[in-house]
Structure 1
Amino acid sequence: MARLLSLFAGLWLAAAGGAPVFAAPAFADWAAVVVAGDWHAADGGPTEGFDNARRDVTLALGQAGFQAGNIRQFSVRPERYSDTRPEKSDVRAIYNALVEGVGRARSGCLFYLTSHGLPQGAQVDQGILRPAMLASMLDQTCGDRPTVVVISACFSGVYVPALAKPNRMVLTAARPDRTSFGCGQDNKYPFFDDCFLSSMPNTRDFSGLAGAVKECVRMREAAEKMTPPSEPQIWVGPQLRPMLPLYAFEKGLRPD
């Protein structure tokens, strides 16, 4: 709550003619972790979809105002990506990255995971990151900071009850009992990640982005006759809800 009050104070000072507070991007002091949790397509063959999303979501966050030094990337096959130099997807390593990240960037947190999902949680390499485990990781690291969590996976709505806190926003690719789509060998990204990337340059903040992504997924699934619809889920805590418009994206182009 203290961080939110200080943000309000900054706005008051700006309105009163004080020193400009938002010269730096709104997310300049946020820690972010972006994880590709698998490399297999829905049919078991190889896919670059999750790593493409991991790479380009990282770029999109940078264009929105996150600082490159505050974003950590994780891949199941990091040795393949010398250009982006991700770390190995491992729950302990991800937790350590959050610990280190919030020690350096103290104003907020973002966690983004793209992978396959089960009703028990989302896949991270050979294991499952269960909702209670992720909730504990975020409680111990991000704490009461403004926090945005994005889970792109089948059945990912299962995370909402465990993660729902007043200072958090949770956006998932599907409701708890539905699959999501676009994890084939030929898909550049899963549908949800594609919609996240295509919608981000045209929205002002995470609140607007969440609604745009949900509508984009609905239209994409209808156009390709994918049923039943995945129905992405959005949850915004009451403490964070009035603050989200103050965290505006810098404007950039979508990665090619």
Structure 2
Amino acid sequence: MIRILTALVMLMGLATPALAQSRFDGWATAVIAADWRTSRGQPIQAFDNARRDLVSSFVAAGFSRADMVDYSLRPDVADPVTATQAMAGVSSLTARATAGCLLYFTSHGSPQGMVFGPNRMLAPADMANLVRGWCGARPTVIVVSACFSGVFVEGLKGPNRMIMTAARRDRASFGCSEDATYPYFDGCIIESLPTATDFADLAHAAGACVSRREREEGLTPASEPQVWIGSEMQLRLPTLRFRRAVD
């Protein structure tokens, strides 16, 4: 009987894929949908759809849900979260999960910064101060999905940082209409994550995905997503591989 039970356990182990150990244990992850409107002010779901499915995708890639917060800053819900409350939540999270930081923002943007809630614009200098306080010298990946989001790159640069933006500093991004499931850049991140090996691979795949969609739909000028990687992160990224199911 013992031999039979042992054989069954071994067969079950072979039949069920195991999850490889995550390289992101102890990382703080924050995903914030900071707007909920079209450029004409009509309510949409695209930003919140992206927030929801980015959370699922990052959990599948090895980020702990217990060390993750996600916020929608839309005010037209029963218990709205303010920009101040969201910032406090990220601050609390990064104070206890100190191995690294993944910060993902999806919103509308302008050359002056990013919409951050109903009546607030987050300027590049403000973002730089927030990230410095939250993440310090720990390895940090910052993703800003918004029009003109390239304006954030210069202020966020650091040897321990990787920065991904949905557009050049002088370009719009696409996919924030009433009929869009996600902003294009967010959708391409979600599409690319299941097969990407690490953040560098993800940035390459998502950029190619955005370019393909814009070409196919004749959208101009191209948004040209940006990527910047600091010297320390260039060395560290190959060790920060996403978790995948293994046989």
TM-score, normalised to structure 2's length?
0.87
Tell me by how many angstroms 1:80 deviates.
4.4
Q: How many angstroms apart in 2 are the aligned matches of 1:87 and 1:41? A: 19
Tell me by how many angstroms 1:132 deviates.
0.8
User: Root-mean-square deviation (CA), in Å?
Assistant: 1.8
State the partner residue of 1:9: none
Q: What code does the residue aligned with 1:222 have?
A: R
Tell me by how many angstroms 1:191 deviates.
0.4
Q: What code does the residue aligned with 1:98 have?
A: V
Contact 2:21/2:243, CA 8 A, preserved across alignment:
no
State the partner residue of 1:103: 95
1:117 aligns with 2:109: yes
Tell me by how many angstroms 1:76 deviates.
2.0
Q: What is the aligned-residue identity percentage? A: 44
Q: What code does the residue aligned with 2:97 have?
A: A
Q: How does 1:129-168 map to 2 (within 5 A)?
A: 129-168=122-161
1:63 to 60, 63, 73: 60
1:223 aligns with 2:216: yes
Q: How many angstroms apart in 2 are the aligned matches of 1:51 and 1:156? A: 19
Instruction: Give the number of equivalent residue pairs.
Output: 226
1:127 to 100, 120, 125: 120
Tell me which structure has the larger Cα radius of gyration.
2
Q: How many angstroms apart in 1 are the aligned matches of 2:67 and 2:123? A: 25
Q: What code does the residue aligned with 1:39 have?
A: W
TM-score, normalised to structure 1's length?
0.84
Show CA shifts across 1:204-251 (max 9, x none). 000100011111100100000000000000000011111111111113
Q: How many angstroms apart in 2 are the aligned matches of 1:76 and 1:224? A: 30
1:188 aligns with 2:185: no
Q: How many angstroms apart in 2 are the aligned matches of 1:107 and 1:134? A: 20
Q: How many angstroms apart in 2 are the aligned matches of 1:79 and 1:66? A: 29
Q: What code does the residue aligned with 2:128 have?
A: A
State the partner residue of 1:13: none
1:41 aligns with 2:38: yes
Contact 2:99/2:138, CA 8 A, preserved across alignment:
yes
State the partner residue of 1:26: 23
Q: How many angstroms apart in 1 are the aligned matches of 2:234 and 2:222? A: 27
Contact 2:27/2:67, CA 8 A, preserved across alignment:
yes
Q: How many angstroms apart in 2 are the aligned matches of 1:103 and 1:118? A: 31
With 93-102 and 175-184 compared, the bigger mean Cα shift is at: 93-102
Tell me by how many angstroms 1:78 deviates.
7.0
- Report the secondary structure of 1:228's partner residue: coil
Tell me by how many angstroms 1:44 deviates.
2.4
Q: Which runs of 5+ in 1 are unaligned?
A: 1-21
